[in-house]
Amino acid sequence: MGLHKILKIVAIILSVVGAALALTIVAGDEDTARSMSGNMLAIAYIVLALVLALVVIFVIKGLFSGNIKRTLMSAGAFFAIILVSYILSSGTDLDLTPFNKKGLGITEAISKNVGTGLIAFYILAFLAIASMVFSGFKKISK
């Protein structure tokens, strides 16, 4: 039996258990819901751990079964965009006094990180839109 079939079976079992617990909470009274809340949290953590483990397994499997050179080039391009965004972000273009008066404790480093995220988002959004436009023109020209 392949890994894909095993994962399908695990997903079905988790779905049935989740549905049964949800129905128990919905059909029960308030005391039942309170007593189940701790159990539901433990089950949620277990399911989260299973899902994360499966994601890591499939990512590693995909890395080694696919074109590793292309994957590394894509990851390198992403990190280059993050580096360029970090370099372009100053962190001093915003007056931090109003934030610190409210007790938020915003520093120039935090402001620089937020700026980095925004610039990276703009670059990646532009690249995504440009690639869709290019793909559309390419299809039209054929």
Residue 73 shares a structural domain with residue 56 = no
Residue 73 shares a structural domain with residue 137 = yes
pLDDT per residue over 101-139, tens digit each? Answer: 887 777 788 888 888 999 999 999 999 999 999 999 988
Give the chain's domain count.
Answer: 2
Share of the chain above pLDDT 70, in %: 89
Name which of 14, 90, 19, 16 is nearest 54 in CA terms.
14
Which pTM value belongs to this model? 0.56
Domain boundary residue, one of 28, 47, 65: 65
Residue 75 shares a structural domain with residue 117 = yes
Helix, strand, or coil (residue 104):
coil
Give the C-alpha separation, 114 to 89, whole Å: 9
CB 11 within 8 A of CB 50: no
Residue 118 shares a structural domain with residue 135 = yes
Q: What is the domain extent for residue 87? A: 68-141
H-state helical runs in the chain: 3-27, 30-65, 68-88, 97-101, 108-141
Residue 51 shares a structural domain with residue 13 = yes
Residue 85 shares a structural domain with residue 56 = no
